[in-house]
Amino acid sequence: MSEIIIVNNLDGGYEVYVGGKRRVFVHAVDNVSLILRSNEVLGIAGESGCGKSTLAKMIYGAIIPPLVVRSGSIKLQTRKGNFVELNKLSIEEMRKKIWWTEISYIPQNSMNILNPLKRIKDQFINVFKYHDMNIDKEEVMKYIKDTLISLSLPLEVINAYPHQLSGGMRQRVVIALSLLFNPRIVIADEPTTAVDVVTQRIILSLIKEWREKNKSSLILISHDMSVHAYMDNRVAIMYAGNIVEIGEIFELFKEPLHPYTRALIESLIRKGDKTLRKGLPGLPPDLTNPPPGCRFHPRCPYAMDICRREVPPATTLGRDRYVKCWLYTGRG
C-alpha cells in the first residue's frame, strides 16, 4: 500500500470581503495533515460546517476564490509514479491532467446536478469531449449501455432527460459519470445525503463494489457514522477545521479516544440499548473567530486549563492512530 495523496499542514479557508476593504476570514481548514493510500477508503466525519467539504474541495484542487489555501501542500502520486504538488497547478492544468482521469468527484445528491437540457447519453458524451477524447460513437453508446446495466438502471434512461429520473436513479447516473475513466482516486462528498436509506445502501454498495474491483482509493465525506462503519478502512474525525482523531475504523469505534469522537459514537443507536441518547451541549464554534487553544474546549466535559491556552499536538498511538487532545499527551 503506497501513499498516493499526502496532505501536509494544509491551512486555508474562505476570504470574504465585506463592503470593499474589510476582510473576514473563515478558517475552515486548520493545519490538516492526511495520507491516502492506494486501495483504501478514508472517511472524513464531522458535523455540518466543520470544514470537511472544504477540505475535499482543496484536495480535489477546485481552489477558486473565495476559497484560498494559505499554507501547506497537497502531493499526488501520478500513474507514472512521480509526485505533483496539486496546489501549485493552475486550474487549467488540473482540468486537463488531473480531474476525472486521476481524481474524480462525486458531488452531493441534488435535484439539478445534471444539465436539464441534455439527455443522459449526451451527459456522458460531453465528459468525453471535455477531456478531448475522440471515441467512436457506437463504442460510447455500447459503453454507456454496459455501465447502465451494471448500475441496474433500465436502458431507457439513456435517452431520458434528468427530470424524468428519480433522485436515486439520478445519483446512480452521477456516480457512473464520476467513475467513467476509472480514476485512481474518488472523492465522494456526502454521496447519499438526500436519498432514503434503501437507496443509500444501493448506492454505497455500488461504490464499494466498483472500488474493490478497480483497487482505487476513496475519500468518503459524510456526517453519518453508520455510513463510515459500512464503508471505511480508516476514518478521520473533523471538528471545526481540525482533524482531531484518525484511526482504523474498527479500533476507532471500539475505543474512541477524543471526547468529540466519543460523543459522536455514543450518539449512535445500538441494538438492544434502550437508554436515551445524549446530545453534545453547545454549538460548533464560529470559524471566523475560533476559540483559542483546543477548538473543542468550550464543549468538552474534560476541559483543562491547558486546553484553553494551547493547541494540542498530535499524539501518535500505534500505527495509523493519532489523536489531538491534551488528555493523551502525558502533560495534562
Q: In what order do the strands lie in the sheet with 41-45?
A: 103-106, 185-189, 217-222, 41-45, 234-239, 242-248, 322-324, 314-316
Does 124 contact another protein by CB under 8 A? no
Q: Interface with another protein by CB under 8 A: which range of 77-85, 123-131, 140-148, 294-302? A: 123-131
Q: Which three cell numbers stand for residue 50?
A: 466543520
Does 194 contact another protein by CB under 8 A? no
Q: Interface with another protein by CB under 8 A: which range of 40-48, 122-130, 258-266, 319-327? A: 122-130
**Cβ distance 69 to 10 under 8 Å?**
yes
Write down the least CB distance from residue 86 to another protein, Å: 14
Does 105 contact another protein by CB under 8 A? yes
Residues 125-184 that bind another protein (CB under 8 A): 126-127, 129-131, 161, 163, 174, 177
Please identify, using beta-carbon distances, which residue of 130 and 302 lies nearer to another protein: 130
- 96 DSSP assignment: I
Strands 217-222 and 41-45, how do they pair? parallel
Q: Interface with another protein by CB under 8 A: which range of 39-47, 109-117, 197-205, 270-278? A: 109-117
- 209 DSSP assignment: H
Q: Which three cell numbers stand for residue 58?
A: 482543496
Rule CB under 8 A: choose which of 19, 65, 116, 281 binds another protein. 116
Q: Interface with another protein by CB under 8 A: which range of 95-103, 137-145, 241-249, 277-285? A: 95-103
Rule CB under 8 A: choose which of 29, 34, 54, 99 binds another protein. 99
Does 14 contact another protein by CB under 8 A? no
Half-sphere exposure of 297 (CA within 13 A, CB side): 19
Does 83 contact another protein by CB under 8 A? no
Please identify, using beta-carbon distances, which residue of 218 and 294 lies nearer to another protein: 218
Does 239 contact another protein by CB under 8 A? no
What lies within 8 Å, CB to CB, of 103 at 6+ separation is: 59, 60, 61, 76, 183, 184, 185, 186, 187
Q: How far is CA 20 from CA 23, 24, 288, in A?
A: 8, 11, 18
Least Cα distance to 321 among 252, 260, 263 occurs for 252
Does 67 contact another protein by CB under 8 A? no
Please identify, using beta-carbon distances, which residue of 61 and 293 lies nearer to another protein: 61
Write down the least CB distance from residue 155 to another protein, Å: 16
Q: How far is CA 133 from CA 140, 152, 278, in A?
A: 11, 26, 54
User: Residues in contact with another protein, total (CB under 8 A)?
Assistant: 26
What lies within 8 Å, CB to CB, of 175 at 6+ separation is: 106, 151, 191, 203, 206, 207
Beta strands per DSSP E along 95-161: 103-106
Write down the least CB distance from residue 64 to another protein, Å: 9
- Positions that interact with another protein (CB under 8 A): 60, 62, 95-96, 99-100, 105, 107, 110-117, 119, 126-127, 129-131, 161, 163, 174, 177
